[in-house]
Amino acid sequence: MTGFPADAPAPAARPTSGLSFTKGHGTGNDFVLTLDPEGTGPADPAFVAGLCDRHRGIGADGYIRAVRSAVLPEGRALLQTEPDAEWFMDYRNGDGSLSEMCGNGVRVFAHFLLAKGVADLPDGGELAIATRAGVKRVTRSGDGYAVDMGPWEFIFPDAAVARGMDSLVDIGGLDVERPALSISMGNPHTVVALADRADLERTELYHAPAVQPLPPAGTNVELVVPADPLVGEDGVGRLTMRVHERGVGETQSCGTGACAAAAATRYWAGEGAPARWLVAVPGGVVGVTFFDGPEGREHVQLSGPAELVADGMLLPAG
């Protein structure tokens, strides 16, 4: 066994002409971003997978195109009710698959639009971003940007309400399956609580944990260790989290995952659990706050940093 594949890997797909890009991240969850107002740039799965390949491409957890909402059917539908959502965050996972939503991505996307000079976000103002999970409103916060991610929901409500758990997850490195709760943040998540940091560290996330029953569109899996005590003297709940992302693998951070992890832990904690949470991930810390939304449902706000680290040019094939 040499470790070499029988066939050489296919070359990464490349554009037919040069493509300007920006590299950015939010708590280590990294993205390649392009400004593509007319939506004419490449976005097919083979191109995205090649671009995000860490050895043959730029390397990233995901690809984000900034496209004017008016040129995409899903963007035009959102403009009917929220006409200020001029830009659509066209997010794709590193394997080229689509996801409905990316929480760290929204902050980095807002930062990118401001850096490119195509959007404004005055102090006290908000920037509306169209996504496949609806319009998200971004404001400035002490730690970078805060995003109203909208309401969270159970994916299997009957089981969740009856038992507080709805599935079993088989995780590499742990000897027995663990119970879990599946939560939608627009995209699907399955949250597993582990007893302690030793369990979290011995977990092997190179392979996707097996979830039974699996949410219909697959799932992202969050492993969380609640702090002890769960709530500090400041009234803030704290968690440590690792994540295996659908379409990516283990990442340094997942914003929607942090929201789902806080929502599940808060649900398990019951009456009196705090509204404000800090979630520590391998790439940093994000804030999650629950509040009453305008339509009477509970919303989740995600906050954290966004950084742009490079501008570059992807060379054409050949």
Residue 259 annotated as catalytic:
no
Strand ranges in the chain using DSSP code E only, listed in sequence order? 19-26, 29-35, 62-68, 87-93, 127-131, 134-141, 144-151, 153-154, 167-170, 178-184, 188-193, 210-212, 220-231, 237-245, 249-251, 276-281, 284-292, 298-304, 307-314
92 is in an annotated binding site: no
Of 93 and 303, CB closest to ligand LBFN2T5F: 93
Q: Can you tell me whether residue 6 is helix, strand or coil? A: coil
Residue 254 annotated as catalytic:
yes
Enumerate helices (H) and strands (E) in the chain, giving the number of each.
Answer: 6, 19
Of 23 and 246, CB closest to ligand LBFN2T5F: 246
104 is in an annotated binding site: yes
Nearest-Å Rg of the Cα atoms of the chain is 20
As measured in angstroms, the least distance from the Cβ of 222 to ligand LBFN2T5F is: 11
| Residue 62 bridge partners (DSSP) | 31, 93
As measured in angstroms, the least distance from the Cβ of 122 to ligand LBFN2T5F is: 25
Buried b (16+ CB within 10 A) or exposed e, 179-201: ebbbbbbbbbbbbbbbeeeebbe
- Annotated active-site residue in 254, 300, 302, 314: 254
Of 22 and 29, CB closest to ligand LBFN2T5F: 29
As measured in angstroms, the least distance from the Cβ of 80 to ligand LBFN2T5F is: 25
Q: How far apart are the C-alpha atoms of 150 and 313, rounded to whole Å?
A: 35
29 is in an annotated binding site: yes
Of 103 and 237, CB closest to ligand LBFN2T5F: 103
Residues forming contacts to ligand LBFN2T5F in the complex (CB under 6 A) are 29, 62, 93, 99, 102-105, 187, 220, 245-248, 251, 254-257
58 contacts 48 by C-beta, under 8 angstroms: no
As measured in angstroms, the least distance from the Cβ of 26 to ligand LBFN2T5F is: 7
As measured in angstroms, the least distance from the Cβ of 256 to ligand LBFN2T5F is: 3
Q: Can you tell me whether residue 193 is helix, strand or coil? A: strand
As measured in angstroms, the least distance from the Cβ of 105 to ligand LBFN2T5F is: 6
Q: Can you tell me whether residue 52 is helix, strand or coil? A: helix
Of 69 and 252, CB closest to ligand LBFN2T5F: 252
Of 79 and 277, CB closest to ligand LBFN2T5F: 277
245 is in an annotated binding site: yes
- Report which residue type is found at 308: L
235 is in an annotated binding site: no
- Annotated active-site residue in 43, 52, 101, 102: 102
266 is in an annotated binding site: no
- Report which residue type is found at 193: A
301 contacts 259 by C-beta, under 8 angstroms: no
- Report which residue type is found at 204: E
Instruction: Tell me whether strands 29-35 and 62-68 are parallel, antiparallel or unpaired.
Output: parallel
27 is in an annotated binding site: no
The Cβ of residue 274 has, within 10 Å, a number of other Cβ atoms equal to: 18
Q: Which residues are annotated as a binding site?
A: 29, 93, 103-104, 187, 220, 245-246, 255-256
Give the residue numbers marked as catalytic: 102, 254
